[in-house]
Amino acid sequence: MPIPSASTPPLHTPAPRHATLPVPIPVRWCIALLLLAISVLNYIDRQSLSILASTIQRDLHISDSGYATILQCFLGFYTIMYLVSGRIVDRYGARLAETGFVLWWCLANMATSLVTGVFSLAVVRSLLGIGEPGNFTAAAKVVSEWFPKREKAIAVGLYSMGGTLGAAIAAPLISLLALRFGWRSAFLFTGAAGLTLATLWYSFYRRPADHPSLGAEERAMLRAEGVISDRTPPPETSRLPLRNPSLWAVLVSRMITDPLWYFYLFWFPKYLQEVRGFTLADLGKTIWIVFVSADLGCLLGGWLSGRLVRSGFAPVTARLAVMAGAACIVAMSFLTPHLQGRAIPLAAASAFAFAHMIWMTNSTTLPIDIFPVNAIGSAQGLIGAGSSLGGFISSGLIGYCVTHASYTPVFFAMSFLHPTALIVLFFTLRRSPSQ
């Protein structure tokens, strides 16, 4: 019998089932970058309608109330599928589930090129709403499977940045495609890109214990951090603790605050055109600034709370401290309608988007801090459903305000969202075991 060499892995270490395929950077960050790319596409496909809203409304004779109805159809199915997608991810795993979600929403986005009016547009955007939320439940699952506590927030920030980066890219990309080839082409081009990303994801993603490219050093680090474990978790850890007040506090906070982001995605481009006099070309040249600022908020929010965790703060305490600072900035939203010109309102919107994504990154990380890995998909699905329900309700209210009054009450209401949510989180999560 041959004598094991010093390089032989311990008997308890699961050996990869495939030949080692080295990659130039740690595997977990390769996966994070792939999640980033998928999230970029997710938001490009979602944002396409917002960028082209005024153009499509004129071409298909759709009113503002009709546009609000289309958004509510998208958000209604988005809300329902957040609940379903979380269970799908926990049951079938992030690899298979994410592949299916990407293929579904990209085909739905391509079908938008065929619409002829309110009904058909509402149908295809509803189909988009069925596929898109699964990306974020799967991404949260991936972070819980691959990243130690000190890196979770920055990993969440990275894939969250994909959403804001996608929104930033969407404005010039969609405007260029629409102006050169017609608005229908934009949905075909952006939807087709998902076929490649779905193939890459299915080919590359595995859990840490099974990944063929995971090197010995990264494997040892993940084992030391408790990310890879030889112990099989007990069955009860896979159940979502519905009676846990922390779950409902995070859900309510997302329901309260996420409407601000939905506003910047779905209504702010229209606001700039209708109130500030921007043309479609102006929009393509400038609105990306708002979303790039949001990108920076994603990264800074994850880095700040991660730095506090490394300094000895409990994860939940670190997230709440960073979120409190962000809430103070967003509370100034009521000033927007009173700012003169074009540049200053755009700068203010950039600051608010920046602060909101600092908040959002840490809010999304809270469930990963609190709940067991086998329940993360379901937890994020339920919380995401609360988020999109808030967006669904707010879209109807915003549509009513815009039609019968103005955007001013909308900006005024935004000032109270994050401070209110912070109070809910503080008085609930201060008793959390992770605090």
- CB distance 133 to 78 below 8 Å: yes
Average pLDDT over residues 102-122: 90
CA-nearest of 364, 398, 401, 369 to 383 is: 364
Average pLDDT over residues 262-276: 85
The string of DSSP letters for 119-164 reads HHHHHHHHHHHHHTTHHHHHHHHHHHHH--HHHHHHHHHHHHHHHH
Say if residue 9's pLDDT is above 70. Answer: no
Say if residue 11's pLDDT is above 70. Answer: no
Instruction: Give residue 123's pLDDT band: very low, low, confident or very high (50, 70, 90).
Output: very high
The Cα–Cα gap between 237 and 240 comes to 8
> What is the model's pLDDT at position 12?
43
The Cα–Cα gap between 358 and 44 comes to 21
Say if residue 15's pLDDT is above 50. Answer: no
Nearest-5° angle of CA 74, CA 238, CA 128?
Answer: 15
Please, what is the average pLDDT of the chain?
82
Burial of 285 (0-12, 13-18, 19+ CB in 10 A): middle
Say if residue 356's pLDDT is above 90. Answer: yes
* pTM for the whole structure: 0.69
Residues above pLDDT 70, as percent of the chain? 90
Residues above pLDDT 90, as percent of the chain? 20
The Cα–Cα gap between 35 and 155 comes to 9
The Cα–Cα gap between 133 and 120 comes to 21
- The end-to-end CA distance of the chain, in Å, is 52
> What is the model's pLDDT at position 241?
64
Say if residue 60's pLDDT is above 60. Answer: yes
Taking each helix axis as running N to C, give the angle between helix 376-404 and helix 343-370, from 0 to 180 degrees, rounded to the nearest 10: 150
Q: E-strand spans in 163-266? A: none
Contacts of 267 (CB under 8 A, 6+ apart): 50, 398, 402, 407, 410
What is the Cα gyration radius of the chain? 22
pLDDT for 154-207, tens place per residue?
888 888 888 778 877 887 888 888 888 888 988 888 888 888 899 999 999 988
Taking each helix axis as running N to C, give the angle between helix 134-146 and helix 343-370, from 0 to 180 degrees, rounded to the nearest 10: 60
Say if residue 221's pLDDT is above 90. Answer: no
407 DSSP assignment:
S
The Cα–Cα gap between 191 and 196 comes to 10
Say if residue 281's pLDDT is above 50. Answer: yes
> What is the model's pLDDT at position 107?
92
pLDDT for 34-44, tens place per residue?
999 999 988 88
Domains of the chain: 27-207+245-429 (1.20.1250.20)
- Which range has the worst mean pLDDT, 3-7, 109-113, 178-182? 3-7
The Cα–Cα gap between 105 and 42 comes to 8
Say if residue 236's pLDDT is above 50. Answer: no
- Top pLDDT among 182 and 392 is at 182
- Top pLDDT among 95 and 389 is at 95
Say if residue 434's pLDDT is above 60. Answer: no
Average pLDDT over residues 403-432: 87
> What is the model's pLDDT at position 418?
94
Instruction: Give residue 10's pLDDT band: very low, low, confident or very high (50, 70, 90).
Output: very low
Token pair belonging to 100: 């299916």
- CB distance 166 to 136 below 8 Å: no
- Top pLDDT among 20 and 34 is at 34
> What is the model's pLDDT at position 3?
45
